[in-house]
Structure 1
Amino acid sequence: MRVDGRDIAVSGSLLQPLTRRTNDIVRLMLATTFLVVVITSSLITRNEWEALEKSLSDLVGVLSPTQSNAVYLIYGVAILALPFMILIGLIVARQWKLLGAYAAAGVIAILSLSITGNGIAAPRWHFDLTERLDTVLSQFLDDPRWIAMLAAVLTVSGPWLPARWRHWWWALLLAFVPIHLVVSAVVPARSLLGLAVGWFVGALVVLVVGTPALEVPLDGAVRAMSRRMFSVSALTVVRPAGRGPLVLTATQDASAAGADPEPGTAVVELYGPHQRGGGALRQFWSKLRLRDSETAPMQTSMRRAVEHRALMAVAVGDLALANTSPIAVATLDRGWTLYAREPSAGVTINECVDETPVTRVWDSLGVLHSQQISHGDLRSKEITVVDGTPMFGGFTYAEYGASDAHLHTDIAQLLLTTTDLYGAEPAVRAAITVFGNEAVLAASRRLTKSAVPKRVRAAVRDAGTAMSTARDEVKRQTGADQIKAETITRFTRSQLIQMVLLVALVYVAYPFIASVPVFFSELRSANWWWALAGLAVSALKYLGAGAALWACADGMVKFRNLAIMQVANTFAATTTPAGVGGLALSTRFLQKGGLGALRATTAVALQQSVQVITHITLLVFFSAALGVSANLSRFVPSSTVLYLIAGAALGAVGVSLFVPKLRRWLATAVRPRVKEVLDDLRELAREPKRLALIVFGCAATTLGAALALWASIEAFGGDVSFVTVTIVTMVGGTLAAAAPTPGGVGAVEAALIGGLAAFGVPAAVAVPSVLLYRILTCWLPVFVGWPIMRWLTRNDMI
């Protein structure tokens, strides 16, 4: 490369990967969204849009027919000439390598709209001027293929041409919307489709081909460094631009090095517009996710972000704690920004742990904090030791005039880093010596996954263990009873879960809400005493489930709290498919009650296993008691369905045996849990009292639901035996567990109504009885379970 008469040697690849071109990716996402919106609105609300356009045209259509024809003629000529104007602009700008992309975008856009059911329909454009000129031009104005081609070639060529030309040409293309409203009353939907397709095709071609922003302005970087008295003789690429900047090493010209025996070197970081786009998106996500006190002011300009980093290096350098100093900061052509600095002095802290006491590292951070400066990125590679003094580098996340939140985050990060390097005991002791008990205790609340950035956690060997060990050591040395995690996000995990559950509740409750008017009309003839009796006996479900789980957990949690938790469990199980929310809530409750994660999971699995066995046993028993008069065949799926289920099960077993990852997962995750449950079942066989309590609790869960349905039927004057109701209830419960809908909504109601009809219960009795039963056993507990779940959360039980 030749710059101002000097030859500069450049080695290494400057190519930026496709996956890191943020601006091009965002452009393609916007084009895709616009295309989806146009297609959807054309299929669903096209008539409404045309009516709106006609009403707008009546307001803006002030031109006479002669004036409309003149406007149509002038605009048609401009649209016809536009692609040739763009092509001439590329030739004048000598963008020869772009001609292929220009042609490819135009051809793809035309072909994508020329595909029909009979193949490709070629455009029928002609220039027969024997007809009226506006008739000739209308074939281009109203043809979506021409609009698509214009949008595609303009999207591809726009970044390579002057901004003024690009703005005028886009304005000319988009003017077809108001002109159509003025001239022909309605904007053709096919023209909007052509615009959307053309923009999408152009954005896709731009992503593949690239933009001028990908051309690195190395000559501008060399000139900017020369103005700072650093004459560059060679550039070596250390890392291509990707998630971070393009990093090069610059070697100083020996003739400009003066009396130095060796020419100096500098680290050159070049930030492209794609880093600016990606950085803005990351800042926006942080603002959206974290509280205001946790985030620094947004730097939407890459120049300001780089300038902030350089100024922080100067500020820390005044304290003699910066391992580098800036050489030049400049804005270059095509949206690039230069940051040149001296190489980092010293060796990283992880290379000289034995020679550097941990107290010195904390002393350096103490000096930094005494000037109200936070670093924000205390990884080991950003801490170097120069002549025995730990110094800092990076400064991308540093803040001057930092808040207490930023200072505490620094302490938490250094606790994690020094615990990994020196061990928890000396790291915490040194931190307390420098900052005191209160500051370290407050900072240790941030030793969580959400508070410590991923980049810092990834820099240590086992972040989870290191954070847990550091917290325990802080408790030991400060004498604290517990360390409550700091909430730094706008929405906690429990709030998000509760929001999802509420949305799911609205979704699953909608079919029931639709049938409420009919149900209330039937309530006038109901016997409320039987309804109250059904509500009372439905409580057996929660007492039985609580007793079974209490026995499975060896009585290590309070039975009263377990029974209350079962009501909240109904809310969680109803608002999640297959009741997985209820299982997770039970496991979490046992963990908070003092059981380990494996023991809590095993207890829940044991209770569910006994529940299934008891359920099947009761079903067989009551079926035998009912006798052959029960027509149970209608509850059994057809043979085809059974064969399909068996085939799917065998296929799943075969896949798990032949896929290594699935086989390892079954061996390491599933098999130990199954073995634990089987071992517990064998132990239960040796403890008759405990086994009897679990079986009794599981049976009470099933029979409580059956009693509630039987009372509901009696409330509406039905006459059916309890044995029959029990069979119908157990079949409905089985379907509830197998149905993909949350709480089995829809499937349970249909199964119960169909089951009662099979045993001769009239529909006039079966339908309101089932709805009343679902109110007593599902919807009332759901609405009561929501505040109970919040109460359990406030009391740290889940």
Structure 2
Amino acid sequence: MRVDGREITVSGSLLQPLTRRTNDILRVVLSGLFLAIVIFSSLITRNEWVALEQSISQIVGVLTPTQANLVYIGYGIALLALPFVILVGLIVSRQWKLLGAYGATAAIAGLALSVTGEGLAAPRWHFDLSERLDSVTSQFVDDPRWIAMLAAVLTVSGPWLPARWRRWWWTLLLAFVPVHLVISAIVPARSLFGLAVGWFVGALVVLAVGTPGLEVPLDGAVRAMARRGCIVSALTVVRPAGAGPLQLLATCEGHQTAAVMELYGPHQRGGGVLRQLWSKVRLRDRETAPLHASMRRLVEHRALMAIAIGQLGLANTSTISVAALDRGWTLYAHTPARGTPINEHSMPVGRVWEALRELHDCQISHGDLRSSEITVADDTVLFGGFDKAEYGTTDAQLRSDIAQLLVTTTDLYDAPSAVRAAIDAFGKDTVLAASRRLTKAAVPQPIRQSVRDAGAVISEARDEVKRQTLVDEIRTETVTRFTRSQIIQLVLLIALVYVAYPFLSSVPTFVTELRTANWWWALVGLAASGLTYIGAAASLWACADGLVTLRGLTVMQVANKFAATTTPAGVGGLALSARYLQKGGVSPMRATTAVALQQSVQVLTHIGLLIFFSTAAGVSADLDRFVPDAAVLYLVAGLALGLIGTFLLVPKLRRWLSTAVRPRLQEMIGHLTELAREPKRLAIIVAGCAATTLGNAFALWAAIEAFGGDTSFITVTVVTMVGGTLASAAPTPGGVGAVEAALIGGLAAFGMPAAVAVPAVLLYRVLTIWLPVFAGWQVMRWMTKNGRI
């Protein structure tokens, strides 16, 4: 390479690999949205668009019929020649590899619009020139297949050719819209559809085959280095451009050491912006740094942070130059990293933590404390990277640094020495607060990927912090605005509200029906609801070996109703039960085991009762209407078998089953085995769990009798247990919406009219949920005030 009269040797390949840029992904998304909009407008709002086009044509359509024909014929000839011009352009620019993608894209787009219910429909081009706009060229302009082929080949060839050609060709293709308006014609919906299909097909092909990077402006980079006193004599490619920058090693004349040149291409900007926006959306404000408007600002920030940290003597690189180059490239040049990696050095772990403390004393956070970004030179710990470093940072980012270094040093050294050094450098309270971030969500993915077993290392560090700070539990800190489970719950909640709305809208009817209800039966249902608290208290009392009083547990169950109903899946009730047992003198491990044992027996009892009463209901009632069709059952069975096969074949899922699920199942089976050796205790637990299920069923049966319904207790029990199963699976607190819909639908399946089923179910929910919730709130406040929970 020759720059300003000097010959510079370039070693290595500058040819950038095909990459799937962020622009390619966005193109697919936008083309898909455009296709959906075209389909929607064609099917629903086409008449309005035709009226609008007619009114516009009357204003701008000033051409005579002869002039309109000439314009249309000329435009049609240009559009007919366009694909051949593109083909010649590809051949002239010697884009031989693109010719296959060019032909495949055109074929896919054309065939996609040629498929009909009777097979492939060939174009019907003819040469009848008797009509005003019925010419050979108009047949191509109005044929959606031709438009689709043009849009597809333009899309797939655009990234390979000069921008000027691409802009002119797209302008020519899209001109069919104003041309139709000028000649007082309506834009054919099929042409717009062909344009949308062609763009979408071309975008998919571009995403599949990848696009080339732009030519690297090495001459500009060499001149920028010369302005900083580094006269480059040779360049060696260290890493080609791709997901990261193009990295070169420059040999400077008259300098002892070389310089590292990092060139960031224009196609990397989109991905960086999207990652920043995603972090802003996903993480809380205190967790994220200000947005960088461009790649240049991001590179400048990194260079300035290297200068600031270098003044403290803690940076392993020094900034040489930052410059904006031609064609959207940005140069960041710095000295090579000094020292040896920390994982190859026997530096004491305390020195690493002291270096981080020096950074934090100046209110600087690093943000990426992987072992690869930490080096040792002359017995001094140095940091590199600085992509995520911040000056004047927040306390949350400082705590994140401590959590990251806990993970890294635990992996490099061991947990006891790493935690001990962290406490010596920052203090017990600071380390304890930072350890709340030792979770998968709070530890950044690059840090987790840099250690041997992220889950085990994080757990080891948390356990060691608990041991050295003498705390029983470290409460997890929430760093995200939302979690995956919350998104799923929101989607399910919207679906459940949609399903349950017709039933909830009948509340005014329920108020009217209450005037005709038999209140004695309502009192019987309320008493049956109270039986469930005694049963739950008795089962938990037996699971805890009678270490707490049965009376206290019964009172606690009332408060438990409030805690379980106001939290999804009843997790609040489980936590309250464990907390009450701990306050009663039961150890935390024993309390958790007792609650888990009760839930396990409750599930098994529920399943046993469901099988028993379903069998009884099948004999005494028409259960066929309540059972799905055989096709649905086969589909569910097939999906279940497929899911089991997936878990057994995928190594990661199989490892999760063996490391996370199997130990818990073995523990539960062990507890149940020990319980089977104590028949008296087992009988109390099973009886209590059965009382809980049957008490709810009896309450619903009483509510049905209150409104004059006539059905058997067996039928009501089956419906109640199905509703209880939905309540445990529904993401809404207390299963609101899902339970009502399931109970009303179940009663209707057994032939009960809606005039009885709807008010009976609503009365049942009032007796078993809403009245106990208000009472449980007061009981919970009383227990909190008296220190019982």
Correspondence 1:456-495 to 2 at 5 A? 456-464=447-455, 466-467=457-458, 470=461, 484-491=475-482
The letter of the residue matching 2:716 is T
1:391 maps to which residue? 382
1:576 maps to which residue? none
Residue of 703, 708, 717 corresponding to 1:717: 708
Deviation string 1:142-175 (CA, Å, 9 cap, x unpaired) is: 2222322332233234334554554454344434
Tell me if 1:351 matches 2:350. no
The letter of the residue matching 1:382 is E
Residue of 295, 298, 318 corresponding to 2:288: 295
Correspondence 1:262-273 to 2 at 5 A? 264-273=257-266
Residue of 496, 503, 506 corresponding to 2:494: 503
Tell me, yes or no, if the aligned pair for 1:8 and 1:232 is still in contact at 8 Å: no
Tell me if 1:700 matches 2:687. no
Tell me if 1:108 matches 2:105. no
Tell me, yes or no, if the aligned pair for 1:151 and 1:195 is still in contact at 8 Å: yes
CA distance in 2, matches of 1:516, 1:195: 51
Residue of 83, 93, 96 corresponding to 1:95: 93
The letter of the residue matching 1:244 is G
CA distance in 2, matches of 1:349, 1:123: 69
Q: In 2 relative to 1, CA 164–75 (structure 1 residues): closer, same or farther, beyond 3 Å?
A: farther
1:611 maps to which residue? 606
Shift of 1:465: 5.1
1:252 maps to which residue? 251
Deviation string 1:78-114 (CA, Å, 9 cap, x unpaired) is: 3541464576478569423166244443343223212
Q: In 2 relative to 1, CA 739–33 (structure 1 residues): closer, same or farther, beyond 3 Å?
A: same
Tell me, yes or no, if the aligned pair for 1:212 and 1:334 is still in contact at 8 Å: no
Q: In 2 relative to 1, CA 779–197 (structure 1 residues): closer, same or farther, beyond 3 Å?
A: farther
Correspondence 1:189-588 to 2 at 5 A? 189-213=189-213, 215-218=215-218, 220-222=220-222, 224-230=224-230, 232=232, 235-248=235-248, 250=249, 252=251, 256-257=253-254, 260=256, 264-353=257-346, 356-436=347-427, 439-464=430-455, 466-467=457-458, 470=461, 484-491=475-482, 499=490, 502-503=493-494, 505-513=496-504, 515-516=506-507, 522-552=513-543, 554=545, 559=553, 560-566=555-561, 569=564, 581-582=569-570
2:585 maps to which residue? none
Q: In 2 relative to 1, CA 227–718 (structure 1 residues): closer, same or farther, beyond 3 Å?
A: closer
Q: In 2 relative to 1, CA 702–185 (structure 1 residues): closer, same or farther, beyond 3 Å?
A: farther
Identify unmatched segments of 5+ residues in structure 2. Answer: 583-587, 731-737
Correspondence 1:754-773 to 2 at 5 A? 754-755=749-750, 757=751, 763=753, 766-768=756-758, 770-772=760-762
3-state SS of paired residue (1:338): strand
Deviation string 1:193-227 (CA, Å, 9 cap, x unpaired) is: 11111111221233345445355455554554455
1:10 maps to which residue? 11
Instruction: Single out whichever of 320-329 and 647-656 deviates more from structure 2.
Output: 647-656
Deviation string 1:64-84 (CA, Å, 9 cap, x unpaired) is: 674587467536633541464
CA distance in 1, matches of 2:402, 2:776: 39
Shift of 1:547: 3.9
Deviation string 1:310-357 (CA, Å, 9 cap, x unpaired) is: 22222222232221123343334443333232221111122213xx23
Q: In 2 relative to 1, CA 213–686 (structure 1 residues): closer, same or farther, beyond 3 Å?
A: closer
Tell me, yes or no, if the aligned pair for 1:360 and 1:390 is still in contact at 8 Å: yes
Q: TM-score, normalised by structure 2?
A: 0.81
3-state SS of paired residue (1:273): coil
Q: In 2 relative to 1, CA 493–787 (structure 1 residues): closer, same or farther, beyond 3 Å?
A: farther
Q: In 2 relative to 1, CA 332–121 (structure 1 residues): closer, same or farther, beyond 3 Å?
A: farther
3-state SS of paired residue (1:390): strand
Q: In 2 relative to 1, CA 75–791 (structure 1 residues): closer, same or farther, beyond 3 Å?
A: farther
Tell me, yes or no, if the aligned pair for 1:733 and 1:748 is still in contact at 8 Å: yes
Deviation string 1:241-262 (CA, Å, 9 cap, x unpaired) is: 44333334x2527xx346x5xx
The letter of the residue matching 1:36 is A
Shift of 1:307: 2.0
CA distance in 1, matches of 2:340, 2:446: 20
Tell me, yes or no, if the aligned pair for 2:539 and 2:685 is still in contact at 8 Å: yes
CA distance in 1, matches of 2:633, 2:309: 73
The letter of the residue matching 1:296 is A
2:718 maps to which residue? 731
Residue of 56, 61, 82 corresponding to 2:58: 61
The letter of the residue matching 1:97 is Q
3-state SS of paired residue (1:298): coil
Tell me, yes or no, if the aligned pair for 2:144 and 2:193 is still in contact at 8 Å: yes
CA distance in 1, matches of 2:757, 2:693: 21
Identity among equivalent pairs (%):
53
Instruction: Single out whichever of 334-343 and 663-672 deviates more from structure 2.
Output: 663-672
CA distance in 1, matches of 2:385, 2:779: 45
CA distance in 2, matches of 1:516, 1:257: 88
Shift of 1:746: 4.9
Deviation string 1:250-303 (CA, Å, 9 cap, x unpaired) is: 2527xx346x5xxx4333333233322211111001111222222112123112
1:577 maps to which residue? none
Instruction: Single out whichever of 268-277 and 648-657 deviates more from structure 2.
Output: 648-657
CA distance in 2, matches of 1:502, 1:772: 20
3-state SS of paired residue (1:62): helix
The letter of the residue matching 1:393 is G
Q: In 2 relative to 1, CA 67–637 (structure 1 residues): closer, same or farther, beyond 3 Å?
A: same
CA distance in 1, matches of 2:662, 2:773: 38
Shift of 1:709: 2.7
RMSD of aligned Cα (Å): 4.7
The letter of the residue matching 2:757 is V
CA distance in 2, matches of 1:650, 1:136: 58
Shift of 1:384: 0.9
Q: In 2 relative to 1, CA 152–320 (structure 1 residues): closer, same or farther, beyond 3 Å?
A: same
Tell me, yes or no, if the aligned pair for 2:21 and 2:267 is still in contact at 8 Å: yes
The letter of the residue matching 2:9 is I
Q: In 2 relative to 1, CA 105–797 (structure 1 residues): closer, same or farther, beyond 3 Å?
A: farther
The alignment of Structure 1 onto Structure 2 pairs a total of residues equal to: 762
Q: TM-score, normalised by structure 1?
A: 0.80
Tell me, yes or no, if the aligned pair for 1:549 and 1:604 is still in contact at 8 Å: no
Shift of 1:56: 6.1
Deviation string 1:693-745 (CA, Å, 9 cap, x unpaired) is: 3222222223322322332232223456xxx32x1122224544777995466
CA distance in 2, matches of 1:125, 1:10: 56
Tell me, yes or no, if the aligned pair for 1:329 and 1:338 is still in contact at 8 Å: yes
Tell me, yes or no, if the aligned pair for 1:89 and 1:161 is still in contact at 8 Å: no
Q: In 2 relative to 1, CA 316–710 (structure 1 residues): closer, same or farther, beyond 3 Å?
A: closer
CA distance in 2, matches of 1:73, 1:562: 87
